[in-house]
Amino acid sequence: MQRLLSQILLAAMVWTGCTAAVTAQNMFRTVATVNERAVTAYEVDQRAQLLTLFNTPGDVRERALESLIDERIQLAAAEDAGITVTEEEIRDGQSEFAGRADLSREQFVAQIQQQGIAPESFRDFVRAGIAWRKTVEDRFGGSVNISETEIDRAAAAPEEQPGLRVLLSEIVLPARNAQERAQAQQVAQRIAGSVTSLQGFAAAARENSASPSRERGGRIDWLPLTNLPPNLRPVILDLSPGQVSAPIDLPNAVAVFQLRALEETGTAQQTPETIDYASFLIPGGRSQQALSEAARIDALADTCDDLYGLAEGLPPQQLERQTAAPGQIPQDVALQLARLDQYETSTALTRNDGQTLVFLMLCERSYADPASEVDRGAIRRQLVNQRISRRADNYLAELKSNAYIAIN
């Protein structure tokens, strides 16, 4: 009997081992071949989970296989062009993705691991995207010319121009007097000249910035490009993701910005003609007493009109309400208003050498007729991006038509 039990146990162990081996083989079996490059079932499963995490519409497994086939072709094209992707570029790309969720790269990787997604799968996804972007820029970046006639035609049909939104990080350095401004300029120049990664900028923001966003590594949420002050828009549009702007002088401050991402919204955006906003000045700067008073006002005021009752009996200059064109608003105020919706508030600014807290509320944005304002520089950049994107799509289609693709 003992011998029989031993034989049964041995057979069970052999069967279990065979089952595990078969499962592993099924997991890593080839589901597609692209020019002798295999795509495995495991990769499709991982990518499908990643696309689900990104809220990708449609059949995620079908999209996953399609994207992996495209990436095999794109990576081959990058290799043929001598394009390489550095580890720093991959880390920065991962940080950019994580930053959209207001997470660090490490936090994002930890979260996707909890969903069963291997860090290597995320890395491969980012690497392929960077390699293709560099390949497209190398192949088409210097060959796109936009004529004035094309800009005129596009300007005549503004509804066809997609809106843009930007993902920025900021470092704001105090410059309340000449000595502080000189010091701030030196620090800003050093940051602009030496920081080359998202993580580096975040670390510099936590160390140097006076803005409340320093606790988030300087990260600002998505903003419509048209919300930004007019003179800042071309500065941001001229940046590539990861690049840092030159120092920008603000009232009482010097700032530098890093572009983390830029994307089309799919709908046209109007530029505000005027902005109506209120500034409630609270003595005490950023003291706990002043911040508590700001919180009290915020709780009681649902609209800008409510502020008049709260300011009753106070000196008239303590509550200021203005309506001005975006270019006429002090730039530090304009930057705070850019991130606010109607009746939202900010307490990021101070006045009077830091002794007065500014409780800022956006009352209303008024918009001009879209056809009356034309930013030819922005239209040119949009047309260039659109043309490069079309050429990239055509190039990929050509590569796919010449590739050997077998779906198992």
Cα separation values, 61 from 1, 27, 33, 235, Å = 51, 15, 16, 40
Q: What is the mean pLDDT of residues 347-357?
A: 91
Architecture of domain 162-269: Roll (3.10)
pLDDT value, residue 203: 93
Q: How does the average pLDDT of the chain come out, rounded?
A: 85
Q: How far apart are CA 99 and CA 385, in angstroms?
A: 23
Cα separation values, 62 from 31, 43, 51, 115, 118, Å = 12, 12, 11, 20, 20
Look up residue 141 and give its two tokens: 């970046």
> Per-residue confidence at 77, pLDDT binned at 50, 70, 90?
very high
> Per-residue confidence at 20, pLDDT binned at 50, 70, 90?
very low
Q: How far apart are CA 344 and CA 54, in angstroms?
A: 29
Q: How far apart are CA 110 and CA 104, in angstroms?
A: 10
Q: What is the mean pLDDT of residues 301-328?
A: 94
CB-CB contact of 188 with 286 (8 Å): no
pLDDT value, residue 389: 82
> Per-residue confidence at 367, pLDDT binned at 50, 70, 90?
confident
The amino acid at 101: A
Q: How far apart are CA 102 and CA 213, in angstroms?
A: 11
Strand 272-283 relative to strand 164-174, pairing:
unpaired
Give pLDDT tens digits for 117-149. 999 999 999 999 999 999 998 888 777 788 888
Residue intervals of the chain classified under CATH 1.10.4030.10 are 2-141+391-407
pLDDT value, residue 146: 82
Beta-carbon-side half-sphere exposure of residue 340 (alpha carbons within 13 Å): 23
Give pLDDT tens digits for 173-189. 998 888 888 899 999 99
Residue intervals of the chain classified under CATH 3.10.50.40 are 162-269, 272-369
**Higher pLDDT residue, 285 or 370?**
285
Architecture of domain 2-141+391-407: Orthogonal Bundle (1.10)
* Among 264, 102, 256, 266, residue whose Cα is nearest residue 187: 256
Q: Which residue has the tokens 């056809």?
A: 371
**Higher pLDDT residue, 54 or 116?**
116
CATH topology of domain 272-369: Chitinase A; domain 3 (3.10.50)
Look up residue 82 and give its two tokens: 């001598």
Q: How far apart are CA 125 and CA 149, in angstroms?
A: 39
Q: What is the mean pLDDT of residues 365-390?
A: 75
Give pLDDT tens digits for 193-203. 898 888 999 99
Q: Which residue has the tokens 């002088």?
A: 249
Give pLDDT tens digits for 3-18. 444 443 444 444 444 4
Burial class from Cβ neighbours inside 10 Å (0-12, 13-18, 19+) for residue 298 reads middle
pLDDT value, residue 385: 80
Cα separation values, 362 from 215, 222, 282, 354, Å = 24, 17, 17, 22
> Per-residue confidence at 2, pLDDT binned at 50, 70, 90?
very low
Q: Which residue has the tokens 């050093």?
A: 190
* Among 195, 179, 361, 181, residue whose Cα is nearest residue 255: 181
